[in-house]
Amino acid sequence: EAQVTQNPRYLITVTGKKLTVTCSQNMNHEYMSWYRQDPGLGLRQIYYSMNVEVTDKGDVPEGYKVSRKEKRNFPLILESPSPNQTSLYFCASSRGGAGNGYTFGSGTRLTVV
Amino acid sequence: GQNIDQPTEMTATEGAIVQINCTYQTSGFNGLFWYQQHAGEAPTFLSYNVLDGLEEKGRFSSFLSRSKGYSYLLLKELQMKDSASYLCAVRRPNSGNTPLVFGKGTRLSVIA
């Protein structure tokens, strides 16, 4: 089944403790992206990647890192999480080109206390 | 920059027709998407417009006017399961052309 898989689905952590949210897609898509979704603010892009080893900042990149060492994986790293990073996170992938939007993962609900 | 506006909430009756509007101001344009998102779930693709006009797909249609920076999503024969948020998204006109900028979404409630 074609899908984007994120792990974990739920995570509660403490301020300052480094964490990684994994994302993997099995569709051989070139483009991948991370979004966060907050009430009243909608989906905001954190980082995106156009191919292996090619990444760029989205609208809210502060406090986050990403890497794209392989085509299928695009982990999101929070080196020192803070409470304002409590949010619902979505990973998404696309094969690019006209008409091809993103396929989203199921989301990761992160709480930083 | 990009600015995308949608109404925050709408309510409609089962069996009726509802139109959800989206206006955008962007530095360039490379396509507009509509997504549906049920509470707590991932957004799912509904439609794509890059040229002016109406695209129809079953009960859902989407319209685009590039000169007016305007789109709408039309839902016909509303069902209770259509209660969800509807997200308008514009594709950034950069070399990657895939990154999408989303509006804040319109929460639609379908009532009996």
Task: For chain B, count helices (H), then strands (E).
Answer: 0, 11
Nearest to B104 among A41, A101, A106 (CB): A41
Cα Rg, chain B, nearest whole Å: 14
Averaged pLDDT, A72-98: 94
Mean pLDDT, rounded, for B84-100: 77
CA pair distance A46, B65, nearest whole angstrom: 29
Nearest-by-Cβ selection for B104 from A42, A99, A103: A42
Element (H, E) at A30: none
Lowest mean pLDDT across A96-100, B11-15, B78-82, B108-112: A96-100
Question: What pLDDT band is residue A98 in, cutting at 50, 70 and 90?
Answer: confident
CA A42 – CA A87 distance, rounded (Å): 11
The answer to which of A46-50, A58-62, B13-17, B24-28 has the lowest mean pLDDT is: B24-28
pLDDT, one tens digit per residue, over B21-36 is 999 987 777 889 999 9
Q: Which of B45, B103, B105 sits opposite A101 (nearest CB)?
A: B45
User: Which whole number is the average pLDDT over A36-48?
Assistant: 94
Residues of A with Cβ-Cβ distance to B48 under 8 angstroms: 98-99, 101
What's the CA angle centered on B22, arms A37 and A110, to 5 degrees?
5
Residue of B nearest to A36 (CA): B102
User: What is the pLDDT at residue B95?
Assistant: 47
